[in-house]
Amino acid sequence: MIKALFVVSECAPLVKTGGLADVAGALPVALAEHGVAVRVLLPGYRTVLSQIDKAEVVETYAGLFGGAAKLLACRLAGVDLLILDAPHLYDRDGAIYANATGNDWPDNPERFAALCKVAAQIAKDGAGGWTPDLVHGHDWQAGLTPEYLHDLNQPTPFVFTIHNIAFHGNADASKLKTLDLEPTRFTADHFEFWGQISALKAGLIGATKINTVSQTYAEELLTPEFGIGMDGVLAARRADVLGIVNGIDLEAWNPETDPNIQTYKTAAGKAANKKTLRKTFGLRPSKGPLYVLVSRLTEQKGIDLLLEALPSLLADGGQLALLGSGDPRLEIALLEAADGHENVAVKIGYDEQLSHQMMAGGDVILVPSRFEPCGLTQLYGLRYGTVPLVALTGGLADTVINASPAALARGVATGVQFFPITAQALANALERINELFKDRKTWKKMQQNAMKQPVGWQTSAAAYHDLYVSALETTK
C-alpha cells in the first residue's frame, strides 16, 4: 500500500473551475484499486467548508502566513480529504482565485504557499497519525512544496503533474520573506524566474518525477510555442517527464444512469435528449447537426476561431448551443452572435447539470482549442455518442480518431480533427462534419465507435501507480 498526499487547489464535486477538479476528485478513487491510499489536501475556501458537516480537527498551526489554521479530516464522495481551514486566507466572498471584479487575489502567493508549507509539514510529522510516502502536487499552486520539504530536510518524494503550463504562479521577489522561502535559493537553478519567484519553476526543478496529462502535450511542452517560457527548464528534466492521459469518472458520466438526462444505451436514445436540449436553448428543429460546446471562455479555448468559422457551422442547417463563462469580451461576442442568428444559442454561466444534458443531446462536441493539455469534454462526448470535432493538439490529438478515408475504411473513426489551428481549417472541418452527418450509416458507426472507446481511469491509474513506484525508488 502506497500512501500519497495530493496537494491541489480544487476538487470535484466540492469546488471546481475546470478539469483539474475532475481529476482531483476521480483519480484518488481509481488509485485505490491499485493499492494507493490518497488523501487530498485542499484549501478550506468558504464554499468548501459550507459543504462539510462532520470533520475532525487533526492538526493546528499557530502562525501560518498571518493567522492561525486548522487541518480538518473528513471523507466525501469516496475521497479522504484534509482541508486547510485558514480563515485569513480562504474565508472570503468571490471566486477561488479571483475577487468579484475578476482580478487575482493579491495574496494568492501566500494562499497557495500556505498549502505547500502544510503539505511539507504533513510529510514530516503526519496528520492525525497518517504520514504519506509521497506527495503528489498539481499545477503551480502546489509548486513550492519541494522548497518547504528541502527546508525541513525532509526527503519525501514529490511527483508534480502539469495540467496547464500557462499559469506560472509568479510572485514579486519582495515576497521572499513573507513566503518564508530560503533567500539563497532565489537563483536561476532554483525558483527564480526572470527576477520573480515562480512557484511553477520551483515544482519543476524540485520534483522527483514530472508528468503531464497527455503524451502529445508532454512533447509539445518541450517547444517554445507550448512551453511558455518553461520549455528550457523542462528540457533539462526531459528524462523525468511523462505523459499520462486523463480519464473520466465513468459513474458520474454514464448515459445509461445519468440522473440529469433521459438515459440511453445506444445513440438512438439521444433523439429525446436532443429535443429537450433544443427547447432549453430555444432552438427550432433543424435538419443539420446540433453542435455543443461547454468551456471556460479564454484565449486557450479558440472561441474566436469558432466565431469566425460560424458561417460553415450554420450552412446546411447546423446549430450551436454553447455554455461557458470567462473573458467578458468573448461573452459579449458570443451573445451578439446569438442575437444575430436564430440557430445560435448561448448561455453564459456555469451549470453542471446542463453540461450533462448538452453531452446527451448534442450531435457534435466542439473543442477548437489553441492548446489543450488533455481536455475532458471530448471524453464526455465520446462516452455519450456525441462526435468530437477538435483541434489537433495535446490530449485532443491522443483521444480522438480522425475520420480520415483510411480510418473510415477501417471503421475506427470517432471524430474529426483539424490542423493548422486556424479559423479556415476549422471551417473546413465543420463542412466535413456536415457531410458526414448526412451519411447516416457512417455517422452511426462513428457514434458507436465513440461509445465503445475506453475513457475511464483504469489504464492511467495504473500508470500513476508505476510513476509513484519509480519516484519512491529514486529517493531510496
Among 325, 442, 458, 470, binds ligand ADP (CB under 6 A): 325
C-alpha cell belonging to residue 320: 450551436
User: Is 18 an interacting residue with respect to ligand ADP (CB under 6 A)?
Assistant: yes
Q: Which does 352 bind (CB under 5 to 8 A by kind): ligand ADP, ligand GLC, none?
A: ligand ADP
Q: Which does 213 bind (CB under 5 to 8 A by kind): ligand ADP, ligand GLC, none?
A: ligand GLC
State the nearest-atom distance from the C-beta of 378 to ligand ADP, in Å. Answer: 8
Number of residues written out for the chain: 476
C-alpha to C-alpha distance for 164 and 118, rounded to whole angstroms: 23
Q: Which does 391 bind (CB under 5 to 8 A by kind): ligand GLC, ligand ADP, none?
A: none
User: Is 442 an interacting residue with respect to ligand ADP (CB under 6 A)?
Assistant: no
Among 351, 398, 463, 472, binds ligand ADP (CB under 6 A): 351
State the nearest-atom distance from the C-beta of 134 to ligand ADP, in Å. Answer: 24
Instruction: Give, as one character, the DSSP assignment of residue 415.
Output: B
What are the C-alpha distances in Å from 307 to residues 172, 280, 336, 358, 405? 37, 22, 10, 19, 28
State the nearest-atom distance from the C-beta of 23 to ligand ADP, in Å. Answer: 8
State the nearest-atom distance from the C-beta of 80 to ligand GLC, in Å. Answer: 21
Beta strand pairing status for 209-212 and 158-162? parallel
Contacts with 202 (C-beta within 8 Å, 6 or more apart), sequence order: 143, 144, 146, 147, 190, 191
State the nearest-atom distance from the C-beta of 59 to ligand ADP, in Å. Answer: 31
Residue with the closest Cβ to ligand ADP? 19
Interface residues for ligand ADP in 375-414 (CB under 6 A)? Answer: 375-377
C-alpha to C-alpha distance for 28 and 465, rounded to whole angstroms: 11
User: Is 212 an interacting residue with respect to ligand ADP (CB under 6 A)?
Assistant: no
C-alpha to C-alpha distance for 64 and 76, rounded to whole angstroms: 26
What 3-state class would DSSP assign to 64?
coil
Among 4, 14, 19, 386, binds ligand ADP (CB under 6 A): 19
User: Is 72 an interacting residue with respect to ligand ADP (CB under 6 A)?
Assistant: no
User: Is 324 an interacting residue with respect to ligand ADP (CB under 6 A)?
Assistant: yes
Buried b (16+ CB within 10 A) or exposed e, 53-87: eebeebbebeebbeeebbbbbeebeebbbbbbbbe
Whose cell is 456525441? That residue is 386
C-alpha to C-alpha distance for 37 and 153, rounded to whole angstroms: 24
Nearer to ligand GLC, 216 or 246 (CB): 246
Separation of CA 2 from chain center: 24
C-alpha to C-alpha distance for 54 and 46, rounded to whole angstroms: 15
Q: Which does 294 bind (CB under 5 to 8 A by kind): ligand GLC, ligand ADP, none?
A: ligand ADP
Q: Which does 255 bind (CB under 5 to 8 A by kind): ligand GLC, ligand ADP, none?
A: none
Among 82, 323, 364, 430, binds ligand ADP (CB under 6 A): 323
Mark the segment that binds ligand ADP (CB under 6 A) among 193-201, 270-278, 323-331, 439-447. Answer: 323-331
Nearer to ligand GLC, 18 or 227 (CB): 18
3-state secondary structure 130-180: ECCCEEEEECHHHCCHHHHHHHCCCCCCEEEEECCCCCCCEECHHHCCCCC
- Phi, psi (rounded to 5 degrees) for 3: -105, 120
User: Is 355 an interacting residue with respect to ligand ADP (CB under 6 A)?
Assistant: yes
What are the C-alpha distances in Å from 224 to residues 143, 218, 219, 271? 21, 13, 11, 45
Judged by CB under 6 A, the number of residues near ligand ADP is: 18
State the nearest-atom distance from the C-beta of 379 to ligand GLC, in Å. Answer: 9
Check whether the bond before 311 is cis (ω within 30° of 0).
Answer: no
Residue with the closest Cβ to ligand GLC? 19
User: Is 109 an interacting residue with respect to ligand ADP (CB under 6 A)?
Assistant: no
C-alpha to C-alpha distance for 446 and 292, rounded to whole angstroms: 17
User: Is 296 an interacting residue with respect to ligand ADP (CB under 6 A)?
Assistant: yes
Binding mask 219-248 for ligand ADP (x = CB under 6 A): ------------------------------
State the nearest-atom distance from the C-beta of 122 to ligand GLC, in Å. Answer: 24
Give me the sign of the Cα torsion angle 4, 10, 16, 20. Answer: negative
Nearest to 181 by CA among 143, 132, 136: 143
Mark the segment that binds ligand ADP (CB under 6 A) among 259-267, 270-278, 291-299, 404-412. Answer: 291-299
Site residues (vs ligand GLC, CB under 6 A):
18-20, 23, 163-164, 213, 246, 372-376, 395
Among 294, 320, 391, 461, binds ligand ADP (CB under 6 A): 294
Q: Which does 351 bind (CB under 5 to 8 A by kind): ligand GLC, ligand ADP, none?
A: ligand ADP
Nearer to ligand ADP, 18 or 126 (CB): 18
C-alpha to C-alpha distance for 410 and 405, rounded to whole angstroms: 9
List contacts with ligand ADP (CB under 6 A).
18-20, 22, 294-296, 323-325, 350-352, 355, 374-377
